[in-house]
Amino acid sequence: MINTFVGNLGHFAVILSFVSALVTAFSYYKYTVSTELDKSSWRNFSRISFYVHAAASVTIAISLFEIIYQHRFEYFYAYSHSSKALPVHYMISSFWEGQEGAFILWIFWNVVLGLILIKTNKFWEGPVMIVFALVQAFLVSMIMGVVIGDLKIGSSPFVLLRDVMSAPIFQINPDFVPEDGTGLNPLLQNIWMVIHPPTLFLGYASTLVPFAFLIGGLVTKKYSEWIRPALPWAIFSAMILGMGIIMGAYWAYVTLNFGGYWNWDPVENAVYVPWLIMIAAIHTMITFKKSSTALKTSIVLVIASFILVLYATFLVRSGVLGDSSVHSFTDLGLSGQLLIYMLFFLFAAVFLAARAWKHIPTSEKEASVYSREFWIFIGATTLGLMAFQVILPTSIPVWNAIVEIFGGISNMAPPTDQVGFYTKFQLWFAVALAMLSAVGQFFWWNKIDGKALREALVVPYVVSVLISAAIIVLGKVYDLTYIVVVLAGTFTIVANSTILFRILKKSSVKLAGGSLAHIGLGMILIGVMFSSGYSEIISYNMSGLTYSNSWEDEMNKEHVLLWINKPTQIKDYTAIYRGRQKKVVGVPGYVDVKLLESTGKVNESIALNDIVVKEKTYFKKGDIVPIVLEENDYFQIDYYKEDQFQFSLNPMSQFNTTMGLISSPDSRRFINKDLYTFVAAINDFDEPEWRDDETYEVTPGETFYISDFVTTFEGGEVLTSIDGLSLEEGDVAVKAKLVVMDYDVEKRIEPIFIIRDSQVGRIPVIEKELGVKVELTNIVPEENKFVFTVNRYQKDYVVLKAIVKPQINILWAGTIIMLIGFSIAIFRRFDEFAKMRDKGLES
């Protein structure tokens, strides 16, 4: 039965949200320009209008999630992005897998930020909320799904499947509802994809706040006063965007199998660039607060950071990157709207800035080489160059599209080796930033000349050289480029630690944000250098054999083939593949698939034996067992050193009908490295290639070979009952007991032979891991022989890649320290603003 109510409610909420956003923008404009006598009534009306918009926006989100959570597959969005197999946290991920859900998430965060600004600002509420409301109107228009003639405004997440698909079933039965949806992209079935997108979109949304304060300042001619309220929000935005980037990198590291955490994909670049510009803006804004310089630079950078976020949205969601990025969305007909959205705010901001440019105060003071302003300018310039070097090649598909629109042909192509191309430039920019952040901090806290600077830097320089020498020797860093990276990273850590010590000794921890953030930068630089520059593949094929002629050379050379239960050397380890496992609801770790048999229902199996973990029984034989995403197989790989068990890893794979084999890595974490592993190929149990039958005649107690496995026939046993089969009076059932040794694992195979009314029945046993099917074909009592028919296919195996990632924990620790630094800086700057506001000095 089709439920149209929730979809209609969602549609109504979208229209109400759009209209109320426009009303809010108009009413806040009237509030801003009205006389003091009318301000109170306009402010109340504006707030009520925004509250209505907020309620409508939340209703949109609730309606869409209800459709997903209740498995209403009559709706195209739920059918396309969800399925009954998904646990609740992955249903949340499916909410924002599609474009429409992502826009709803963005709308929601803008609502939250808008409500906070209404409560925390006085003078700035009017002009800031005008900008907020206009942005919301544009965003809501992206999900309206209204068609006027040939004009389509937005793509609605509340359309029914029958209105989108022209399948014949809808001609027969218009109320047809599919049993299940197509599911969530396997690569998004990770807990980090529950957290990463909301964080990233909060970062996107937060860039609007300093932009809105800036626009408010330009409109109200408060050309410099906007800096103080905007600064804590700019730092917040940089922190959240940075956190989103870090989460995305970590998601890539634990989910994707390209062997790293950053691939310079165009979509990654599109987030990275506005973050760099926002960092530059923060530094110039702080400079203005201290010395009344760099105000115009701050204005340009704040505008650029917000416009670049809109540009990133256009890149990702217009379909223009469809051929150059695995992360981009297909075009839902929104490219025109996205372009108008971006250009509207670009032209409006440029117009307002140009109109006010000659009135914006500037400092006539010449910046000395030994001034903080000079070093901040150099740092901001470096960040700008970093952003420019990334965004220009990333935008090549956009350039090609523009050329084609005007009838031309462009043969420009993005760099084929993305990692090599961007890294060779960004690495040196990062080294420059590290050096600048080290030296610049001394200018920041001291009025200093050349002699004093040299004296102040002597101790940090000597200490950093000594530490760098130790790192270079112990880490065997012999590449000149990497030696420079170590020196730069260590120098910024030591120099900023020196400043941090002075701050904590003389002042409050509130002033420590900058030093901590820069220490994190140095650690990130060193961590990236080691984990990427000195990562080591240890799974080389040492057999001298080519695994498959159809595989690429890299697969045949840099991967190791692990047969089930066969010890195989992987550098310092002996690895043994022990079989496939599943995740079971409520059971810690993994459960052997041999203990489970599917019921045919989604994510449901029957326990073939008791499921016991650490002497605790979770399920008894015959119990219904709930599986966590039954399509996922986890491959247990045990690692030994000198015959001593060390640990197990469980990399995951699933075969997806549209995407092929999807694999996620598993890593063993050490203090100084990660052992990073993933499965690149697996045995196909669904379509095995059976060989010719082989027949064996054996007597009880005899040993023989089945597919090179030592097999002992212990004898036969007469049965009085068989699970799943009723024996009648006069039936004779015999079970043969075979013990097969697969290296150190004993497997029991027990085929059954049945005689009923002179008719013979056989119940064979298929041992998937060994790749054999054994059938008791006949019994010859007079010769005391049993006849077995054996059929074979490929024994179970996995093809594994293992990489050692040295010192990667320095990278992750650096990101955490950087975020702590941002958090302290946010607290300090907001505290400054709040004190001024509460004194009535914030105008």
Separation between Cα atoms, residue 67 and residue 95, nearest integer Å: 10
Model confidence at 370, in pLDDT bands (50, 70, 90)? low
Token pair in block for residue 326: 């695995």
Q: What percent of the chain lies above the pLDDT cut of 70?
A: 95
Q: 562: burial class by Cβ within 10 Å (0-12, 13-18, 19+)? A: buried
Would you say residue 366 has pLDDT above 70?
no
Residue pLDDT, tens place only, 743-794? 989 999 999 999 988 888 999 999 988 989 999 999 998 889 999 999 998 8
Find the helix or strand (DSSP H, E) in which 377 lies: helix 372-394
Backbone angles phi and psi of 319, in degrees to 5: 85, 0
Amino acid at 666: D
Amino acid 285: pLDDT: 92
Average pLDDT of the chain is 89
Residue pLDDT, tens place only, 633-675? 999 999 999 989 999 999 999 887 777 888 999 999 999 999 9
Token pair in block for residue 610: 């008791």
Would you say residue 415 has pLDDT above 90?
no
Amino acid 833: pLDDT: 77
Amino acid 231: pLDDT: 92
**Kind of pairing between the strands at 694-698 and 673-682:** unpaired
In DSSP terms, which residues pair with 536 in a beta bridge? 804
Residue pLDDT, tens place only, 195-216? 999 999 999 999 999 999 999 9
DSSP string for 579-626 = EEEE-BTT-SS-EEGGGEEE-SSTTEEEESS-EEETTEEEE-TT-EEE
Would you say residue 166 has pLDDT above 50?
yes
Q: What percent of the chain lies above the pLDDT cut of 90?
A: 60
Sheet containing strand 772-780, strands side by side: 694-698, 785-792, 772-780, 765-767
Residue pLDDT, tens place only, 314-354? 888 777 665 554 444 555 557 788 889 999 999 999 999 99
Q: Residue 579, by phi and psi: left (phi above 0), alpha (psi -120 to 50) or beta?
A: left
- pTM comes to 0.88
Would you say residue 523 has pLDDT above 60?
yes
> Computed from CA positions of residues 712, 717, 723, 724, in that sequence, does the dihedral angle turn out positive or negative?
positive
Angle, helices 125-141/208-220, rounded to nearest 10 degrees: 130
Would you say residue 368 has pLDDT above 70?
no
Angle, helices 99-120/192-206, rounded to nearest 10 degrees: 50
Backbone angles phi and psi of 486, in degrees to 5: -60, -45
Residue pLDDT, tens place only, 96-106? 988 899 999 99
Q: Which of 168-177, 466-475, 561-570, 615-624 is predicted least confidently?
A: 168-177
Would you say residue 192 has pLDDT above 60?
yes
Q: Which residue has the tokens 């979109």?
A: 201
For residues 275-295, average pLDDT: 89
Separation between Cα atoms, residue 79 and residue 2, nearest integer Å: 13
Residue pLDDT, tens place only, 439-453? 877 766 555 666 776
Amino acid 328: pLDDT: 47
Residue 145: partners with Cβ closer than 8 Å, 6 or more residues away? 11, 14, 152, 153, 154, 155, 156, 158, 159
Separation between Cα atoms, residue 482 and residue 526, nearest integer Å: 9
Separation between Cα atoms, residue 44 and residue 760, nearest integer Å: 88
Q: 94: burial class by Cβ within 10 Å (0-12, 13-18, 19+)? A: buried
Q: 170: burial class by Cβ within 10 Å (0-12, 13-18, 19+)? A: middle
How many Cα atoms occupy the beta-carbon half-sphere of 220 within 13 Å?
A: 23
Neighbours of 329 (CB within 10 A): 18
